[in-house]
Chain A
Amino acid sequence: MAIAEAFTPTPTPVVPGRSRWGRTGRSPHARLDLLSAGLLGLVTLVALAAPVLAPHGPLDPVGMPSAPPGTSGFLLGSDSVGRDILSRVLYGLRSSWLAALAVVAVGALLGGLVGLVAGAAGGWVDNLLMRITDGFLALPAPVLAIAVVAALGPSLLNTLVAVSIVWWPFYARIVRGEVRTLAARPHVEAARLAGAGPVRVALRHLLPGAVPAVVVTASLDIGALVLTLAGLSFLGLGQSAPAPELGADAARNLSYLLQDWWIPVMPGLAVALLSLVANVAGDGVRNLMAGR
């Protein structure tokens, strides 16, 4: 839809001073949405490039302990053992962001598969799969995740497994809903009459119609996931001690709160920034998909 819009001349009146935008045939709003959506790529690049961008190793004591932000060489200050907070935050941001993306991807694939099978098959298969999905949705996701990690033992991988287990049902519901609506449409009936088997109908004629809804939900989900993962990490359910992790770095340095506030605050601010950027980008993706 976004591409179609890009090639359609929109009747937006050309705003003086913005004529450069008008000429591309896109409304300023769509431009803004595209820029917001692009933030997803930008943050992913920053996350991937963290080892290059970080001035120091995240585990190396490289200077004076507890240096306040802005001290020469330490943009965000240093922590109680003289590690560079900026470097730790960059590495923490990398693991938070990639973890959130991984959970969204697993959730969308797993939930999408369940939803596609349920929606395309209908009947008792649909009923059974949706009752299971409802069962998961009826339980509070963070509580389930904590129970899973506590049972498997705290580690980043187990946390990702746990959160993925509680995250897929949303996607199953969405995909199933889209697929059920599509299944009643004439083009699907035509495909069936033309002799397409159930698998071909599901993959070629039903699945593509559900993709936009999944993409929008997924991009709006990333911010919430960043927050959820940071909360679990804060509770000690992520990587163990010296590894840089945003939630855990804030939790472990709580005792410095009153003297050297920046040590616990900086990782927390990074979580907030990451989640904010993800939300803005998610809104952008949604608007683009809706063809605003």
Chain B
Amino acid sequence: MLLLIAKRLAAVVVILLALTAVLFLLQHISPADPVKTMLGPGASQELVAQTRRELGLDDPISVQYVHYVGHLLHGDLGTSYRTRRPVGTDLATFLPATLELTLFALVLALVLAVALAVATTLNWPGAGAFRLVLLVGAAMPAFLLAIGGIILFYKQLGWLPATGRTDILDAPAGPTGLLTVDSILHARPDVFVDALRHLLLPGLAIAIGPAVSIGRVLRSSLVTTQRTDYTRTARAKGLTEVQVMRRHVLRNSVGPALSMTGLQVGLMFAGVLVVELIFAWPGLGQYTAQSIPVGDYPAIAGVMLLLGGAYVVINTVVDLLQAAADPRIEA
């Protein structure tokens, strides 16, 4: 197990280095000139040349890459052309909102996935209807779910808010930046409820796609597990269908679904970026969307490094969890 952990950690380092190399090379081949973007079109030639020297853009590419990684290791992600602030500071500002929304959506996705998988596997009249939900849900773009959710639950029914993280003006602003957590720490149940209400629509819009993918994998391993001898034994000794599902089938079927969850996190990031735009959610999606049209590459690279790194780490943890749960999995 220790050997496995060491191997996986080494792999994480290599992959993260590869990610930095890709992001660095992309910046290098990008037709946008960072110096011109930074100084504006009216800058004099001497100023441009001087800035190039100061930024180290005249050095050989290998030297530039080593500098780039060195800066990254010191937490220096460069300066955003647009906000003129360090990208690290910008990310710290926008990360909590995105983190809260992503975690909430992940929990929703897992709950929905289990519900969908069980509902389609159990022998009952509604199974067919839920199989249809799986088919249709797999084809829904996150932005359509978001738009549909706003029309139905905000405009028609007036049950849920459609924009932002909270309507309460004096909501606590620290220490974690996650509104639901901060409201508990400050003993503000009103803020907690309001924050949850704001999370529900964007969370669902992000969660449904991954929930369907995870649910499908879980469903197929449930079906396989249901045909095993020990499940037949459990039935034969008189356990109810629900007991069999809970005690014997579900527990032995979560492995593949867990792997799928790790993979789906990558797609969820894309969903988060899109859905944040629709709900005016003050997170990394807004930051990215504002950076793309002006070609603010350091900002975009910063977000992508953060999301890519999170994805690699999450999938490594999933791998290790599976190895811990099932000793048959070897390095």
| Residue from A138, A154, A254 within 8 A of B315 (CB atoms) | A138
Which A residues touch B278, using CB under 8 A?
254
CA distance A143 to B304 in the complex (A): 6
- CB proximity of A252 to chain B, nearest CB, Å: 11
Q: Does B32 have its Cβ within 8 Å of any Cβ on chain A?
A: yes
Chain A interface size, under 10 / 10 to 19 / 20 to 34 / 35 or more: 35 or more
Which A residues touch B19, using CB under 8 A?
139
Q: Does A160 have its Cβ within 8 Å of any Cβ on chain B?
A: no
- CB proximity of B213 to chain A, nearest CB, Å: 9
- Chain A binder among B83-91, B233-241, B253-261, B305-313: B305-313
- Is B22 a contact of A147 with CB atoms below 8 Å? yes
Which B residues touch A223, using CB under 8 A?
138-139
Q: Which of B139, B142, B147, B308 has the most CB of A within 10 A?
A: B139
- Is B139 a contact of A279 with CB atoms below 8 Å? yes
Number of interface residues of B (CB under 8 A): 53
Known: A146-B288, A150-B292. A231 touches B308 (CB 8 A): no
- Is A257 a contact of B141 with CB atoms below 8 Å? no
Which B residues touch A265, using CB under 8 A?
144, 147-148, 151
- Is A272 a contact of B311 with CB atoms below 8 Å? no
- Is B141 a contact of A227 with CB atoms below 8 Å? yes
- CB proximity of B132 to chain A, nearest CB, Å: 11
Main secondary structure of the interface of B (DSSP, over half): helix
CA distance A268 to B266 in the complex (A): 22
- Is B143 a contact of A138 with CB atoms below 8 Å? no
Which A residues touch B136, using CB under 8 A?
272, 276
Which B residues touch A234, using CB under 8 A?
141, 143, 274, 277
- Name which residue of chain A comes closest to B30, CB basis: A151
Q: Does A153 have its Cβ within 8 Å of any Cβ on chain B?
A: yes
CA distance A237 to B11 in the complex (A): 31
| Residue from A135, A142, A236, A271 within 8 A of B18 (CB atoms) | A135
Listed A/B pairs (9) with beta-carbon separation below 8 Å:
A139-B18, A139-B22, A150-B26, A151-B26, A247-B141, A268-B141, A268-B147, A275-B140, A276-B139
Residues of A that sit less than 8 Å from B by CB: 135, 138-144, 146-148, 150-154, 223, 227-228, 230-231, 234-237, 247, 250-251, 254, 257-258, 261, 264-265, 268-269, 271-273, 275-276, 278-280
